[in-house]
Amino acid sequence: MTGLCELHDNGVMHRDVKPDNMLFNKDKKVIKFVDFGISKFYDKNDTEKQHTKNVVTRCYRAPEVFFGDRKYDGRKLDIWSAGCVLAEMLTG
C-alpha cells in the first residue's frame, strides 16, 4: 500500500482509483491505495505509447479516456479519479 505521488514517482500508474481501492486513516490523515490488478509501469518520457482504454470505473474515468484516447498520461488519469473521489466526499 502506498500513496499516489509515491506510485507515480516510481513509474506506476494505478488506473483504478475509486473509493473501494482507497484506505483512509483518520488519525494520521493518510490515504493508501490498494488493488493493483490493472496498474501498469510506464516510462515518463514515452508519450506515444498506447494503453488500453478500458480502465477505471466509469464515474471516475477522465474525459480523454472516456472518449477513447489510448495515449493517455496515467498520472493525470489517476489524479482525475482522485479528484472525483474527493468531490464526492465533500458534497456527500
Q: Annotated catalytic sites, by residue?
A: 16
Nearest alpha carbon to residue 4 among 28, 26, 21: 21
The string of DSSP codes covering 55-90 is: -S-GGG--HHHHTT-SS--HHHHHHHHHHHHHHHHH
Contacts of residue 37, defined as CB under 8 A and 6 or more positions apart, other chains included, come to: 16
- What is the spatial distance between Cα 22 and Cα 41, in angstroms, rounded to a whole number? 20
